[in-house]
Amino acid sequence: MRIAVVAGGPETELVDLQTYATEDMVFVGVDRGTIYLLERGITPKIAIGDFDSVTEAEWQMIECGVGKENIHRFPAEKDQTDLELAIFWAMKQQPETIFILGATGGRLDHFFGTISLLMNKEIMSSRTKIELVDKQNRVSLYGPGTYTVFVDIGKTYFSFFAITNEVTNFTLKGFKYPLSNHTVRSGSTLYVSNELDQENGTFSFSSGILMVIRSSDG
């Protein structure tokens, strides 16, 4: 099972949701993201949020389309964001992968809040793979280990950033610019815009938290 959590960010940044509508995919609507799903003929399993960004008519659409029993509505004043509530619900289902869609563009505080959320100890220690995806980018955080990546025609460039002060023994194989046992330090742009030079490649490191962004030019 995989889960697509659809948030209510700018619709211009949203991927084609129909491409995620596979048999093993479960959709979760987050606040206005629920409207994005319903407008595309996709019924989410649940809808989560305070729904302060929808009109009364849209709220009625959500109640009708999702069903009151499948709506988890929270007060606007709370200690967790709507997206955080949705991600932790998704993690409890123990999926193979969680895709976070509709969470980029617009307010930068929301975006950095999402990145900070992905650094949560419970999320980082989970076996569930989490990807933040929009039309041009795929973002994931990784703990120490060795990872294999494959060519994605839509996402050509790889950029690597240290989220912790440093990432040690960083090694790239199968890339246009291979590396061996580098220390990636926070604030460095040395590791931006690399590319695979074969069908697949690996990156590995022994300590720290690494953010990997796969991007296209548009």
- Please say which residue of 100, 135, 170 terminates a domain: 135
Return the percentage of the chain with pLDDT > 90, whole number: 83
Q: Per-residue pLDDT tens for 150-179?
A: 987 667 899 999 999 999 999 999 999 999
Q: What is the mean pLDDT of residues 59-86?
A: 94
pLDDT tens column, 4-52: 999 999 999 999 999 999 999 999 999 999 999 999 999 999 999 999 9
Boundary-marking domain end, from 95, 114, 135: 135
Contacts of 201 (CB under 8 A, 6+ apart): 148, 149, 172, 173, 174, 175
The answer to whether residues 52 and 71 touch, using CB atoms and an 8 Å cutoff, is no
Supply the pLDDT for residue 218.
62
Q: Are 114 and 187 in a shared domain? A: no
pLDDT in tens, 80-115: 999 999 999 999 999 999 999 999 988 888 888 888
Short-list 171, 189, 193, CA closest to 180: 171
DSSP state of 208: S
Look up residue 194 and give its two tokens: 């690399």
Task: Output the pLDDT for position 77.
Answer: 87
* pLDDT, averaged across the chain: 94
Whether 214 shows a pLDDT value over 80: the answer reads yes
Q: Are residues 22 and 123 in the same domain?
A: yes
Q: Of the residues 101, 135, 169, which one is the last residue of a structural domain?
A: 135
The region that residue 151 occupies, defined by phi over 0 for left and psi between -120 and 50 for alpha, beta otherwise, is beta
The residues, any chain, with a CB within 8 Å of residue 140's CB and separated by 6 or more, are 118, 129, 130, 131, 132, 211, 212
**Given this model, what pLDDT does residue 168 score?**
98
